[in-house]
Amino acid sequence: MSILVNKNSRIIVQGITGNEGSFHTAQMIEYGTPVVGGVTPGKGGQIHLDKPVFNTVSDAVDKEGADTSIIFVPPRFAPDAIMEAAEAGIQVIVCITEGIAVQDMVKVKAYLKNFDCRLVGPNCPGIITPGEAKLGIMPGFIHRQGTIGIVSRSGTLTYEAVDQVTKAGLGQSTCIGIGGDPIVGTTTKEAVELLMNDPETEGIIMIGEIGGGMEAEAAHYVQEFGTKPVVGFIAGKTAPAGRTMGHAGAIIGGKADTAAAKMEILEAHGVHVVQSPAHIGRTMAEVLRQ
């Protein structure tokens, strides 16, 4: 089983004719992802990468039964693209776009409460259910079908965890890159909860960063409702206070925002914390054998 995306998803690409959209759509199609079309205003009726292009998301929903969208549009237009997808009835929206203004995302997140949909991102690598659907920019070849769910704020650390889990022979059920911005559509806790409720996921890897309280929120959930082992890592142990590190959301605003403080919180709530990302895969394997 999988969460959010699978071989039965009907996926469209908003911004399919742009450089980034074209490149990554081609990669997704090559992986076997069920892409049914794309959206670029003013280019409706064209064929791009052997897929129909529509002027609006609503047209793609009507003509192709689209239920999932991935967004590759510039920051200025991305908020409208997200809201358009929600209005059209898209159930899963993945926004890859980096650099969306915080105030714009505040409005978008409030707006999405009116619709039955889930946003992943922005500023994220996407979602992959290995062997079924790659909805994002991650390298598909390192993933293998398996039973470990991965939730991460960091794209590159997601890939490191995936590689280790694959080499450990465990594979992945679904990997979710939630994004590194201050405001994201799906939080760490929400992603962990989805994986916790997936009967085919046996263990969960949770990768966090300095800044914000999402990891603590997830840890509280794990302690109260967790039924599967969770391995956790927090990046940014050497980050200085008050300075953004890599992601817009990775900034220490108080003592509880530091990597050390977050690791303590995770450990206190039953998460198996590793001090180095190099230990993620082997720790997951050891925990499952216990």
Cβ contacts of residue 244 below 8 Å, gap of 6+?
250, 251
Cβ contacts of residue 177 below 8 Å, gap of 6+?
120, 121, 124, 125, 126, 127, 136, 138, 152, 153, 154, 155, 158
Cβ contacts of residue 89 below 8 Å, gap of 6+?
61, 67
Helix ranges (DSSP H) in 128-237: 155-167, 188-196, 214-225
Distance CA 147, CA 83 (A): 33
Q: What would the two tokens of residue 9 be?
A: 């998803």
Distance CA 136, CA 163 (A): 17
Q: What would the two tokens of residue 5 be?
A: 């995306």
DSSP 72: -
Q: Is 55 exposed, middle or buried (0-12, 13-18, 19+ CB in 10 A)?
A: middle
Strand partners, 205: 150, 231
Distance CA 52, CA 43 (A): 10
* Positions marked active-site: 247
